[in-house]
Structure 1
Amino acid sequence: MRTALYVLLALAAPAFAGQTVYKWVDEKGVTHFSDQPVAGAEKVELSGGANRPASPPPAYAPSAPQETPVKAGPAYSRFVIVNPQQDQAIINTGGTVTVQLAATPSIDARHTVALYLDGAPVAGFSGDSHEFSNMPRGTHTVKAVISAGGQTIQETPVVTFHVRQESGAQPPVGPAMRSKPPKRAAGNKLVTKQPSFAALNGSKAAIDPRTNLPVKTKPAPVVPPKAPAKPKPAPVGQNTGK
């Protein structure tokens, strides 16, 4: 009988899960259960598998914050070409041009510096300066590149410069060559046409349009006068008297 009661209670446990049941044994040794309190009864808490309290959640351990990788900046805070300067005109140096670099901090001994003139590498370049000789007239570009292990680390901005060289074949013209300022026309207007050599110097000689200079003419060759012919001598024994 007691066993049957326990079986019934076990089957009914899911229905009474979470409820309070009172248990007592009478004078005949029979065990009773009730959901109402009874004097001398033992208080029993019923629980079923379906209503078992959930297991406590695992303790939350905050993960360490992930560090955002910092992007590496340039190896040098300053790496530029200080000479020549952008759009500088280099005049009458006989084709000599000096290129000067500047870097902050100083260039690492493990790094290699290459110099490029008009896009082509310059052979024999080392250090932070280089002097070109016989630089052709015209416009040129120059830049420097730092590399290590065959990979480019940093490079300077491209600098454009201009080589100007005066010559006899192409003499300078313009306001710098004027011997005196041109006269202003009536109405205080400037002369808009470049005066010629003849206008500036009062010369009436023919002007070469290529050089704006007088045409040089060769003087006529001087022919010496012919000496008078000498009389022929008379034959020997001939009477030349009248």
Structure 2
Amino acid sequence: MRTFCYLMLMILAVGSLHAEIYKWTDSEGNVHFSDQPHQGSEKINLPASQTFTPPPQNNSASPPAKAQESDAERGYKVLRIAQPIDEATIRNSQGYVPVIVEISPELKSGDKLQILYDGEPLGEPQATTVFALNDVKRGSHTIAVQAVDDEGTVLSTSEMITIFMHRPRVGMVPQTKPKNTAN
């Protein structure tokens, strides 16, 4: 029933869109508009309603944008590790190191970033500029980042930074109670 009411309202609304408009002025000088003709009224010719027809889509196969770019255009002007800074000392008992990458221009479609940890790729390339390194062992480590395309080709590489991880010593001796020397 509700659908029928909506349908009837739509039909009535569409019908009123094609009504004729009349204009007249009363004895006091007030201008009136109506869809019913009155004595002394004049019919107003309205311009055709605006319509938009989208241009036809070109379905011809064009080469992908990636093939049109030269190798120089594929690289990135800025690719660097913003955090942590070079030679940073990190104190974290779980060995957690957040890595934030700065890249310009923005990462292009299909391109990803790969973290290099001590010169080796760490995990899979990702389309994000924030990474989390977990369980980093004590000592000094190097970190860099590479921009790679969807085929794994390296587009740009950042400068390598060095970090120093400080974690509590493994196998720490528990604190002993002081001896009672009051005897």
User: TM-score, normalized by length of structure 1?
Assistant: 0.38
Q: Point out which structure has higher relative CO (alpha carbons under 8 A, 6+ apart).
A: 2
* Higher Cα radius of gyration: 1
Please identify which structure carries the higher strand content. Answer: 2
Please identify which structure carries the higher helix content. Answer: 2
